Homo-oligomer: A and B are copies of this chain.
Amino acid sequence: MKIARFSVDGLDFHGKVEGDRVRVIKGSIFGDWELSGASYPLAQVKLLPPTRPVNYWGVGENYAKHVNYRLEEMGESFRPRSAAFTPWHKGVGSIIGTGDTIIIPPDADWIEYEGEICVVIGKPCFRVTEAEAPNYILGYTVTNDIGTGPTWAKSDFSLWRVKSCDTFGPVGPWIETDLDPHGVDIIVRVDGKEEDRGNTRDMIHNCFEIVSNISRHITLHPGDIITTGAPGLTRPLKAGEVIEVEIPEIGVLRNPIANLKE
C-alpha cells in the first residue's frame, strides 16, 4: 500500500494512493485509521513530505562503491568517518516534498545528489534487535540526500551546512508499506537522463541492522525517517536542472534546482 501526505483546499491529510487518485485516511497512520469516502485526483493535490519526523537520521558510507568514491575525493582524512557505524542528524528543517525546489547556497562549492531508500518508523522503538526491527517499520520512501562539495565537508565536522541547508532534504513521493527493501534499484536521472543506478542488495548495513543500531542508544519515534546512504557516484547540479530519484517499487521523487535569489 502507498500512503501519501497531501494538501488540498488548505487542509493536510494522509491518504492511500489508488491509481491516479488518493483516498483520505481518517485517524493516525501510526495508530487506528480507516479509509474515508473522499478521494481526490493526484493531479489536483499538493504532495507533502510523507511524515513530520522528530528526528531525521542520516547513515552515510553504506555502499562500498560510494565509500571508495569519497576516499578518492577527500583523501585519508575521510577514512575515520567510514570506519564505524556513525549516523548523523539531518536537520528536520531541510525537509521538502516532491515537486519542491532545491536551492543552491551561494557560498557552497556546489550541491550534489544522493538518491537513497529511506526507512519510515511506525512505532516507538528502543533497543530492538535486527529480527524485531521490521515490526517497527511502517514502510519505505525515497530520499535525495543533497549535500555540498568538499570544502564544507572538510571544515564542518558535524556536516551542519554540508547536509542540512534549507531544501537539502527532499523526501517522497509517498511511503510504500509492502516492500522487501533489500533488492530494489535506485535510479537517479537529471533532465531525464540516467546518471546513476545502484541496488539496495549492496548495502553494508541493511535497514533492519540500522534500525537496531540506532535504537540500541536512542529512541526512534513514529514518523522518524532514516536515509540509508547512496549506492554510487554523484556530480554537481546546476540551476535549471530537474533531478529525479526513482525506486520503481515506490515511486519517483522529482525536484527542480535553482539558485538562491539574493
Contacts and interface: CB of A to CB of B under 8 A. Distances in A.
Nearest to A126: B166
A60 to B, nearest CB: 9
B161 A159 contact: no
A218 interface: yes
A236 B107 CA distance: 40
Question: How many identical chains are in the complex?
Answer: 2
A126 B161 CA distance: 14
A48 interface: no
Interface centre among A87, A89, A164 (most CB of B within 10 A): A89
Interface residues of A, number: 33
Contacts of A54: 92-93
A105 B89 CA distance: 19
A248 interface: no
6 contacts: A54-B92, A80-B157, A107-B217, A161-B217, A164-B218, A165-B218
Interface of A: 54-55, 80-81, 84, 86-94, 105, 107, 126, 155-161, 164-166, 216-219, 221, 224
Given A89-B158, A160-B218, 13 more contacts: A54-B92, A55-B91, A55-B93, A84-B155, A86-B155, A86-B156, A87-B160, A88-B158, A88-B160, A92-B92, A93-B218, A126-B166, A160-B217
